[in-house]
Amino acid sequence: MEAVVTFMVVMYFFETYLDFRQHKALKSEKLPRALVGVVSHEKFLKARAYSLEKSRFGFVQGAVVFSENIAILLLKLLPWLWDYSGTLVFKLGFDPENEILHSLALLAVTTVWAQVLGLPFSIYSTFVIEERHGFNKQTPWLFVKDVLMELLLAAILGPPVITAVITIVNKGGPYFPLYLWAFIVLFSLLMMTIFPILIAPLFNKYTPLPEGTLRTKIENLASSLKFPLKKIFVVDGSKRSSHSNAYMYGFFNNKRIVLYDTLIAQCNDESEVVATLAHELGHWKLSHTVYNLCISQILALVQCAGYAVVRNSRALFESFGFSVQPVVIGFMLYEHIITPVHHLVSFAMNLLSRSFEFQADAFAKKLGYGSQLRGALIKMQEENLSTMNTDPWYSAYHYSHPPLVDRLSALGKVEDEHRDEDITSAGGELKKDK
């Protein structure tokens, strides 16, 4: 426990240092040179104010969350919550020695606790910061409805998953890590299948994109890439926020594209929407989605194997104040002790993600959507009031997507390379003519 607390303190101060570096960059009143004449000064000032307010809010929230996590460990609140959960099970007339019921009670208590502690930050972020800068479209009732719906889904999906995990660990014998990993893979695939069909519609309305030139352009693009497009939906993201997005989902020959209504409204013309989708289809064509899925499952397997190493370590449980060794507590403690690995993996995945983003941009450019993608990126940067000035250390550590300056620069290099290829080709034709 002492090692875990020490690492948490070190990482908190390190990440706070990066936050200060970023905050200093945000205070700059000058646009990056590459964005001068590209992004309007009015939008820059609005984005600067929005980013600074979120940064100040982040300092407060980070300090509170850090203090809460440290207090939980140092005050031995986890053992207390475990005992308290057993008491609740007993008062409800059930056997507190039943590990599954005891664990479900603990997770119910911690979920409610997390909601209560996190609610003030969520409310302030939504109804003060987002509202002040023109993004929030939620009503208080919709906000409450979302929270209640999330809790209901947790209550429905949580018990069978926790029951399965505890049963696999306790009954799986020496090969339980493999069984547990197989369960995680199957559950992940199940959620990827049912989420867009059964769960996402509980929060938003998905309507088919009407017939028209935009639909025709998207279908022609998908057809040219042999993308097995089945349906195109427009989601009413504007009922919660004016931020924009687009994504695709589905397995094998049943792919679907989802456009946020805000994205369609923000782009100057339909070609910019198509260019955005050309970027997303680039991830598919270049197998980025497959790579990410495989990497995540490999990491899950490694985590399962690592958990098996510490599963029966009485010293580990005693260090955190436990005299028993329940499965769910074992996972909580295991997550604490592999936090350093999580930070390293997260950093590596961000590097990989940024590389994939550059590749997808280049793919869209090679399809002939370079200028349109450039316009879409600039428009989304302006309309979403995204950060213009970024500290290089902060962005390298935190960002999964490259800053706009870097993406525009890379698109320019792709244009230069294509121009050089055209010149070389033309030179060759002249030599042949001679």
Question: Cα(110)–Cα(330) distance, rounded to whole angstroms?
Answer: 15
**Is 336 annotated for ligand binding?**
no
Measured over the CA atoms of residue 395, residue 399, residue 400 and residue 402, the dihedral's sign is: negative
Biggest alpha carbon–alpha carbon distance for the chain: 96
**Is 219 annotated for ligand binding?**
no
Q: Decide: 278 and 363 in contact? Cβ < 8 Å.
A: yes
User: Looking at 130, 361, 391, 406, which residue is catalytic?
Assistant: 361
**What are 229's strand-pairing partners?**
255
Phi/psi-derived region of residue 21, left when phi > 0, alpha when psi is between -120 and 50, beta in every other case: alpha
Measured over the CA atoms of residue 323, residue 328, residue 329 and residue 333, the dihedral's sign is: positive
**Is 279 annotated for ligand binding?**
yes
What residues contact 328, with CB distance under 8 A and at least 6 apart?
A: 103, 106, 107, 162, 165, 166
User: Looking at 130, 261, 272, 280, which residue is catalytic?
Assistant: 280
Question: Cα(189)–Cα(297) distance, rounded to whole angstroms?
Answer: 11
Active site residue 361: yes
| Alpha-carbon separation of residue 213 from 22, 208, 219, 273, 279 (angstroms) | 42, 14, 10, 12, 19
Question: Cα(109)–Cα(282) distance, rounded to whole angstroms?
Answer: 44
Displacement of CA 402 from its chain's centroid (Å): 15
Token pair 């295991």 in the structure block, residue: 334
Exposed, middle or buried, 200 (CB in 10 Å: 0-12/13-18/19+)? middle
Question: Cα(33)–Cα(422) distance, rounded to whole angstroms?
Answer: 29
Q: Which residues are annotated as a binding site for Zn(2+)?
A: 279, 283, 357
Catalytic residues: 280, 361
Q: Which residues are annotated as a binding site?
A: 279, 283, 357
